[in-house]
Structure 1
Amino acid sequence: MKKIFLIIFLSIFSLGFSQKKKKGKAKVVAEKETVIIYTETEAETSNEPRIIAGFLKQNPGHQRSDFFKKKLMTIIMADNSAEAKPTIKPLSKSKIEKIVSNNELNKGKDVAINKSPERNVNFASVSSSSKKSEVSDKNKKTAAMLSHIFNDDPSDKEAYINIKNRSNCRLIVKISGKKYYNLDVPAKGQNFILIDKGEYVLTTMVCDAKYSSLKRISKDIEIQLDVAD
């Protein structure tokens, strides 16, 4: 009889312990860090200047370089592009051509574009309107990114982090080091930020899972985050 009670007691205890352990198991974040490599398919299907410019930089002798230069120019010059909204400091068409063509990766190449009256593309703005302010921030961010990508100076003190969010939750990534940055990344989306090279701690919550990682940023990288199965 005592053996029966002992067996029952041990069974109940084991079941309770197992459930408690299962309940207390915390979710973990799956992280994948890679050096950013742009493919021809990405450059062809994307309308992001960053991706097209990155592909041109990494593939200077590509047979379709002229096509992608033209596409990059078209996107930047488009009337409906955020980079083309009226602002205070203009960047002329000729200056954009110089950025795209006058660098190491494009020497000896011509930019194929439609000849039309010169228009100004504007990157910097000061406005009392919150909407114009948001456009200005995006313009400055894109301008800084293009300048960084086409910069061949090895002493460049900046690098960028691209965060790919594979989870179903929005992320606010805090980047803490000698400077502090916040990066808003939509669910199932991505976002990037240009930062000073150095050592940083990246923290965020991926749904219910806490993420914290020490990174030494010395080059452009991409970090993919998701909740582990």
Structure 2
Amino acid sequence: MKKIFVLLFLSLFALGFSQKKKKSKTKAIVEKETLIIYTEADAESTKEARVIAGFLKQNPGHAKTDYYKKKLIEIIMADNSPAAKPTITPMSKKEVEKMVNNNELNGSKTIVSNTPEASIPERTVNYAGVGSSSAGKKAEPSEKNKKTAAMLTHIFNHDPMDKEAYVNIKNRSKCNLIVKISGKKYYNLDVPASGQNFILVDKGEYVLTTMVCDAKYSSLKKINKDIEIELNLRD
């Protein structure tokens, strides 16, 4: 009887230990960091202006340069369509063509101007002119247009002393992410499940943190170049 009691006790102890070990086991996060390189396949399949602009910058003199410039103009004009923003007068197609053909947004005063503030230049984007329904009052460009214009300015900037870098987060998981980027400045980036999102940050050292579903992610990054970070859960 005593032997049976001991065996039963050991069995229950082993079962409880195995369950506790199973509960404490957390899913591992798979991280992949790469420099951003745009391929012709990316430029062909994308509907994002930043990808085509990046491809044109990385591949000067490509045989299909004119084709991709035309595609880039069409995407920018579609995003700047007055149908989506009826109170805004969009920039003209001639202005967009000049921007793309020059391969440099900084040369177009209509689109970008730098305003000094506390000795740090800040980009100010003017995607739209005066609204037709409100004379004398400038219409504000949408946040999407501001972000796209800032990104294109950065991509077409050939200055090696550029103080900004571009971080693209690819989320391969089935959960939405809020990535916190903490350093000399602080940024939050929402990344949808099975999607991606990008942000421009001042170059420097940052700690990136988020929850990938129920797994915690934290990583120290020295960001001095445009990078892409892919996050997923290990199967």
TM-score (norm 1): 0.80
Which residue identity does 1:11 align to in structure 2?
S
The alpha-carbon deviation at position 101 of structure 1 amounts to: 2.2
The equivalent residue for 1:146 is 152
Residue identity matched to 2:188: N
Superposition pairs of residues 1-229 of structure 1, within 5 angstroms: 2-78=2-78, 81=81, 85=85, 87=88, 91-103=91-103, 123=127, 136-229=142-235
Aligned AA for 1:203?
T
The secondary structure found in structure 1 opposite 2:61 is coil
1:7 Cα deviation after fit = 3.8
Q: For residue 149 of structure 1, what is the amino acid of its counterpart?
A: I
Q: Retained in 1: the 8 A contact 2:91–2:129?
A: no
Percent identity for Structure 1 against Structure 2: 72
- Decide whether the 8 Å contact of 2:31 with 2:229 is kept in 1: yes
* 2:120 alignment counterpart: none
Provide the aligned length of Structure 1 versus Structure 2.
207
| Structure 1 pair 83–97 and aligned structure 2 pair: CA distance change class (3 A) | farther
CA contact (8 A) 1:175 1:202 kept: yes
Answer yes or no: is the 8 Å Cα contact 2:28–2:234 preserved in 1.
Answer: yes
Runs of at least 5 residues in structure 2 that lack an aligned partner in the other structure: 105-124, 132-138
Q: CA RMSD in A?
A: 2.9
Q: Structure 1 pair 10/36, CA: closer, same or farther in 2 (3 Å)?
A: same
Query: Which residue identity is paired with 1:224?
Result: E
**Structure 1: which 5+ runs fail to align?**
105-120
Query: CA, structure 1 residues 146+182, in 2 after alignment: closer, same or farther (shift >3 Å)?
Result: same
TM-score when normalising by structure 2: 0.78
| CA drift at 1:84 | 8.0
